[in-house]
Amino acid sequence: AQKITQTQPGMFVQEKEAVTLDCTYDTSDPSYGLFWYKQPSSGEMIFLIYQGSYDQQNATEGRYSLNFQKARKSANLVISASQLGDSAMYFCAMRAVFFGNEKLTFGTGTRLTIIP
């Protein structure tokens, strides 16, 4: 079974500062992928970044980077130079990598609020 833990229910960050959202996971699958999604109040889940368990480098996508520490089973999201539009719910999720598997397991999310 897979489990995602997000221990920060809410965070307040000053605009233009960097922010780290924590995510730890547990799985017995040998190959897996880790995802971060942003969910604004409108409800749509917006894909931000992906990290494969065998990727050698940490993933980066613009202002988003994923701090992947496999031995610690952590996959923290770092947002640099935060903007007001970053205020939203953020979900960490994982999926075992095998053909035909589409099931994502999500954490409970972190509500990020950017303060002007």
Partner 1 sequence: DAGVTQSPTHLIKTRGQQVTLRCSPKSGHDTVSWYQQALGQGPQFIFQYYEEEERQRGNFPDRFSGHQFPNYSSELNVNALLLGDSALYLCASSPNKAPTYNEQFFGPGTRLTVL
Q: Does 42 bind partner 1 (CB under 8 A)?
A: yes
Q: Does 30 bind partner 1 (CB under 8 A)?
A: no
DSSP symbol at 57? S
Cβ at position 39, least distance to partner 1 in Å:
9
Which residue of 43, 62, 85, 116 would you call a contact of partner 1, by CB under 8 A? 43
Token code pair at residue 40: 């604004």
3-state secondary structure of 13: strand
Q: Does 78 bind partner 1 (CB under 8 A)?
A: no
**With contact defined as beta carbons under 8 Å apart, do 49 and 94 qualify?**
no
The Cα 57–Cα 69 span in angstroms is 11
Which residues of this protein are in contact with partner 1, per CB under 8 A?
4, 33, 35, 37, 42-47, 50, 52, 91, 93, 95, 97, 99-109
